[in-house]
């Protein structure tokens, strides 16, 4: 609940003192029951004369804030601690010293420390898995040329661009995905890049999207891509990486499945009807909405591409009813390329040991125009979340940018849906802010000696927090507990005169004096 204390300016001082006392009491009692994080700086009073919010020290600020989850989910993953979020969402940023909106732009997130810890943990897994598969990390600018995304197949992504003209009159956009940037870099490297390239990237993407659970206007994506391998083995490698990632997080094939298909299936079906192959990408984009829009709507959109009612019916029937490789084999013939590729992939998956994660599903075509062969999407088996990850083969993308046609495949894996899944499965890691040692000078004039101790410990690789300001011992021990410190190192004049410091082991509660040269 938001609390604003509104009183005339002259009474603010008095009211503030009693309000703070009251609110501190409330906040402290919440600690026991709800684990609120305390931030008394945000307890404010409002002057009705100036309309300005300020805190006890005269700083401008916001009102006492609501938990993230109850407002617009503005913290990155809205993790264990409920953040304090104000009701004041309105109003442009102020430049005249008035109240500023402290919320980030709609659909974007702040990463306070607790969310940043989770993000770092997630990204570390992304990086470690990529490195276990021998991939190298790359990065691209968040701002890209708009022309990289001006595709004409009616993809949603191209209508969701954060695009604008820069001061030099160039059309630019915040990147909605990483694949076009990767293709651009491959082209730029040209012949100097020895194929195959195995690249991974973790980057922020921007899409002006309707927000639903796990879908935001910015998200981070982990991508792994292999450039220059035409065979199914490349696809199997990246799928195996995804499965390893899930397994490391405790997610099993009972929680998540990966729907697989091959765009060549649709190409075959289109080839058998009188449908021009040129409409292929646009048909895929429409079919990708199979679970999002009613059949009648899809029929209308396909008809608008010039498809006959009979062709539309054939496509939809095939996509919606084909659920096994055997059925597919019967429809297209066992020697058909799409069937052969899928069978090879399932065989390799058996070898890697992740076959139970895969599920053939002809309705998966993916909504991006550039995919050409096998495509896939990770989904949660309880059916409550949007796609967890997705990818496929995109052999023609480089040639659409003027390069030579080059086999390529990979996937994108977002940071938002996976966190929703971890929460649902009770698999969220316990990540607290940790240090090893707290160093405390017992007198202010011993601060230089405390600095010597801290520097020595840090150079030995220990994480050290030095107590700053004039704090009491009780505060320091509470602080140590909060940071889950292992030791308290006290710098006192008597011990220092002996060349020692007092070291207290915070788990055993034992303490002893240690000569500085033995302190590690």
Annotated binding site for L-histidine: 177-179, 207, 221, 225, 366, 370-371
416 forms part of the interface with ligand HAM (CB under 6 A): yes
Q: How many residues bind ligand HAM (CB under 6 A)?
A: 25
389 forms part of the interface with ligand HAM (CB under 6 A): yes
Q: In this chain, which stretch among 27-35, 48-56, 207-215, 253-261 interacts with ligand HAM, using CB under 6 A?
A: 207-215
Question: How far apart are CB 512 and ligand HAM at their closest, in Å?
Answer: 52
289 forms part of the interface with ligand HAM (CB under 6 A): no
C-alpha Rg value of the chain to the nearest Å: 29
Q: Which of 388, 440, 476, 501 binds ligand HAM (CB under 6 A)?
A: 388
216 forms part of the interface with ligand HAM (CB under 6 A): yes
148 forms part of the interface with ligand HAM (CB under 6 A): no
Cα dihedral value 89, 91, 94, 100, nearest 10: -10
Which CB, 75 or 464, lies closer to ligand HAM? 75
Q: Which of 19, 103, 223, 318 binds ligand HAM (CB under 6 A)?
A: 223
Question: How far apart are CB 489 and ligand HAM at their closest, in Å?
Answer: 44
Q: Which residues pair with 45 in a beta bridge?
A: 5, 54
The two three-digit tokens of residue 320, written as one number: 């919606």
Comparing every residue's Cβ against ligand HAM, the nearest one is: 414
Which CB, 61 or 107, lies closer to ligand HAM? 107
Q: How many residues does the chain have?
A: 520
Distance separating alpha carbons of residues 504 and 469, to the nearest angstrom: 21
Which CB, 86 or 390, lies closer to ligand HAM? 390
Which whole-number Å values give the CA distances from 7 to 11, 14, 46, 63, 90, in the listed order? Answer: 6, 10, 7, 14, 22
Which CB, 63 or 181, lies closer to ligand HAM? 181
337 forms part of the interface with ligand HAM (CB under 6 A): no
- Asked if 412 and 222 touch (Cβ cutoff 8 Å), the reply is yes
Site for ligand HAM in 224-253 (CB under 6 A): 225
221 forms part of the interface with ligand HAM (CB under 6 A): yes
Instruction: For helices 113-132 and 417-424, give the axis angle rounded to 10 degrees.
Output: 100
Question: How far apart are CB 387 and ligand HAM at their closest, in Å?
Answer: 4
Which CB, 360 or 413, lies closer to ligand HAM? 413
Could you tell me which of 278, 268, 271, 390 has the C-alpha nearest to residue 335?
A: 268
Site for ligand HAM in 432-491 (CB under 6 A): none
Q: Which of 61, 257, 414, 441 binds ligand HAM (CB under 6 A)?
A: 414
Question: How far apart are CB 119 and ligand HAM at their closest, in Å?
Answer: 13
Site for ligand HAM in 168-197 (CB under 6 A): 177, 179
390 forms part of the interface with ligand HAM (CB under 6 A): yes
257 forms part of the interface with ligand HAM (CB under 6 A): no
Alpha helices, DSSP H only, in 273-369? 280-287, 295-304, 309-321, 325-332, 337-352
DSSP state letters, 80-129? SSPPPB-S---SPPPSSSSPPP-SPSTT--B--HHHHHHHHHHHHHHHHH
Cα dihedral value 313, 319, 321, 327, nearest 10: 120
Distance separating alpha carbons of residues 242 and 360, to the nearest angstrom: 17
Distance separating alpha carbons of residues 358 and 75, to the nearest angstrom: 34
Q: Which residues pair with 378 in a beta bridge?
A: 258, 389
Site for ligand HAM in 354-373 (CB under 6 A): 368
Long-range contact list for 477-483, CB < 8 A, 24+ apart? 479/438, 480/438, 480/506, 481/506, 483/433, 483/434, 483/435, 483/438
My answer on whether omega of the bond before 196 falls inside 30° of 0, hence cis, is yes
Q: Which of 61, 86, 407, 412 binds ligand HAM (CB under 6 A)?
A: 412
Q: Which of 234, 275, 319, 417 binds ligand HAM (CB under 6 A)?
A: 417
215 forms part of the interface with ligand HAM (CB under 6 A): yes
Question: How far apart are CB 408 and ligand HAM at their closest, in Å?
Answer: 8
Distance separating alpha carbons of residues 474 and 416, to the nearest angstrom: 40
61 forms part of the interface with ligand HAM (CB under 6 A): no
387 forms part of the interface with ligand HAM (CB under 6 A): yes
Question: How far apart are CB 432 and ligand HAM at their closest, in Å?
Answer: 26
Question: How far apart are CB 216 and ligand HAM at their closest, in Å?
Answer: 4
Instruction: Give the footprint of ligand HAM on this chain (CB under 6 A).
Output: 177, 179, 207, 209, 214-216, 219, 221, 223, 225, 368, 387-391, 394, 410-414, 416-417
């Amino acid at each position: 609940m938001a609390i604003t204390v509104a009183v005339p300016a002259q009474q603010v001082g008095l009211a503030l003192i009693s309000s703070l006392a009251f609110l501190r009491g409330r906040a402290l009692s919440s600690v026991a029951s709800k684990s609120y994080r305390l931030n008394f700086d945000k307890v404010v009073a409002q002057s009705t004369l100036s309309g300005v919010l300020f805190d006890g020290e005269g700083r401008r600020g916001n009102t006492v804030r609501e938990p993230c989850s109850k407002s617009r989910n503005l913290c990155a993953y809205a993790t264990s601690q409920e953040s304090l979020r104000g009701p004041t969402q309105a109003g442009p940023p102020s430049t005249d010293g008035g109240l500023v909106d402290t919320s980030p732009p709609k659909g974007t997130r702040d990463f306070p420390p607790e969310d940043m810890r989770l993000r770092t943990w997630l990204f570390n897994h992304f990086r470690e898995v990529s490195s276990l598969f021998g991939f190298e990390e790359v990065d691209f600018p968040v701002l890209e040329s708009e022309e990289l995304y001006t595709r004409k197949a009616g993809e949603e992504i191209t209508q969701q661009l954060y695009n604008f003209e820069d001061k030099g009159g160039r059309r630019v956009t915040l990147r909605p995905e990483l694949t076009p940037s990767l293709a651009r870099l491959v082209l730029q490297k040209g012949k100097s890049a020895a194929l195959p390239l195995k690249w991974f990237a973790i980057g922020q993407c921007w899409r002006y999207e309707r927000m639903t659970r796990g879908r935001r206007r910015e998200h981070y994506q982990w991508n792994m891509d292999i450039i220059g391998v035409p065979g199914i083995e490349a696809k199997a490698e990246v799928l195996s990486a995804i499965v390893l990632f899930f397994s490391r997080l405790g997610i099993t094939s009972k929680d998540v499945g990966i729907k697989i298909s091959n765009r060549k299936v649709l190409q075959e079906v289109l080839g058998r009807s009188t449908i021009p192959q040129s409409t292929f990408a646009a048909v895929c984009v429409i079919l990708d909405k199979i679970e999002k829009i009613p059949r009648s709507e899809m029929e209308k959109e396909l008809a608008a591409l010039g498809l006959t009612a009979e062709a539309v019916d054939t496509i939809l029937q095939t996509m919606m009813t084909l659920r096994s490789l055997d059925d597919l084999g019967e429809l297209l013939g066992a020697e058909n390329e799409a069937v052969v590729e899928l069978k090879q992939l399932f065989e390799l998956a058996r070898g890697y040991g992740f076959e139970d994660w895969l599920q053939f599903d002809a309705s998966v075509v993916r909504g991006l125009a550039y995919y050409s062969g096998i495509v896939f999407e990770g989904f949660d088996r309880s059916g409550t979340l949007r796609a967890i990850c997705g990818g496929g083969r995109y052999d023609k993308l480089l040639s659409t940018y003027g390069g030579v046609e080059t086999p390529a495949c990979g996937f994108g894996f977002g940071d938002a849906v996976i966190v929703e899944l971890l929460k649902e499965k009770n698999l969220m890691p316990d990540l607290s802010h940790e240090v090893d040692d707290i160093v405390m000078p017992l007198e202010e004039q011993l601060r230089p000696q405390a600095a010597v101790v801290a520097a020595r410990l840090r150079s030995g690789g220990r994480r050290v927090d030095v107590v700053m300001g004039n704090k009491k011992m009780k505060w320091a021990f509470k602080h140590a507990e909060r940071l889950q410190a292992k030791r308290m190192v006290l710098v006192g004049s008597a011990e220092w005169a002996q060349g020692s410091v007092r070291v207290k082991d915070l788990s055993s509660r034992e303490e002893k004096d240690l000569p500085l040269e033995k302190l590690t």
